[in-house]
Amino acid sequence: MHVRVRRGWEIPEREATPEEVFLRRRRLIAGLAAAPALLAGARLLTRPAFADAVEDPSAGLYPATQNPKYLLDRPLTAEADATSWNNFYEFGSSKDVVEEAQALPIRPWMVKIDGLVEQEIEIGIDDLLKQMPLEERLYRHRCVEAWSMAVPWSGFPLASLVAFARPTGDARYLKMTTFMNPEVAPGQQVIWYPWPYVEGLTMAEATNELAFIATGFYGKPIPKQNGAPLRLVVPWKYGFKSIKSIVQFSFVAERPVGFWEALQESEYGFWANVNPEVPHPRWSQATERQLTTDERVPTLLFNGYADYVADLYKGLENERLYA
């Protein structure tokens, strides 16, 4: 028999309490203990049919050519794991949202680009894809809950979208917003969340070469549960910054308040850069459990991407950069 002795730095995942525990507490405080039953009912009513799935019009674009600059120091996560262990609160607070997420209509999908730009743009996803330089990159992904994966994204640099948007000199932040459609996304019927999901980056972060918009995954169009038809990927930050199923890019002067930041600022801040030495208020961030291998490995500063991004934070030492 193989007996595994846990080393000091290893923690069982249940000690790395997910976002949900905080919400359960909040629900009780709000006196809404009956709401989970209501949510369960809503999910039954909106359960989607797989049968009417049509082929994604962007299927022919993948696999995109791999960019040899962005490779991994560890084995790829199995596709079956990366596409079935998800955080997508619009479809429920468990990791098991694959079936629920299939209800999301992803065509037509209009993307609005507005705020401090020379001219507002509204463009359909397939027209946008024609204008963007598609490539594949292998990136690590580190969730704030201390699980991680290593996966092939396809898509384009966020910097290409910023160039396309032509922001004015007054733009200081890029604010991104997820779709809002409570009829297909039962999680959005839960009133104590600050829907729609929002995230933000500074302009310097948004134009850093690592910041990526994923439209494909494992050489195919990105599955709905992973954020179809387009989602952000910022691999040096905790996963909650990588907002899914985006409908709006707004260039703004004020720092946007993210979904998790609005819920609990002390635990999920604006910067949220990965740092093994700065614990989450409720658990250590020193190690992470890799999907597929189930191995617990040390977490790296900036999730291993310090060479690309450390300079972004020079002069910002007074900010809470790592939580």
Ligand X SMILES: Nc1nc2c(c(=O)[nH]1)N[C@H]1C(S)=C(S)[C@@H](COP(=O)(O)O)O[C@H]1N2
In the complex, the smallest distance separating the C-beta of residue 251 from ligand X, rounded to whole angstroms, is 20
State how far the Cα of 165 lies from the Cα of 307, in Å rounded to an integer. Answer: 27
Closest CB 8 distance from ligand X, rounded Å: 26
Nearer to ligand X, 178 or 287 (CB): 178
3-state secondary structure of 222: coil
Q: Which of 266, 282, 245 is nearest to 86 (CA)?
A: 245
CB of 136 to Mo ion, least distance (A): 23
**Cα–Cα distances in angstroms (integers) from residue 300 to residues 70, 235, 281, in the given order:** 16, 12, 19
**Token output for 233:** 């990927």
Binding site for ligand X (CB under 6 A): 86-90, 143, 178, 197, 226-227, 239-240, 242-245
> Under a CB-based contact definition with an 8 Å cutoff, are residues 297 and 287 in contact?
yes
Q: Which does 287 bind (CB under 5 to 8 A by kind): Mo ion, ligand X, none?
A: none
> If you compute the radius of gyration of the chain from its CA atoms, what whole number of angstroms results?
19
Cβ-contact 16, 145 below 8 angstroms = yes
**Contact call for residue 213 and Mo ion (CB under 5 A):** no
Distance CA 290, CA 75 (A): 10
Site string for Mo ion, 104-143 (x = CB under 5 A): ---------------------------------------x
Q: How far is the CB of 268 from Mo ion (least distance, A)?
A: 9
**Region from 121-129, 146-154, 175-183, 233-241 binding Mo ion, contact rule CB under 5 A:** 233-241
- The residue within the footprint of Mo ion, chosen from 58, 77, 86, 87 (CB under 5 A), is 87
For residue 150, the minimal CB distance to Mo ion (Å) is 15
What pairs with residue 287 in β-bridges? Answer: 298
The site for Mo ion (CB under 5 A) is made up of: 87, 143, 239-240
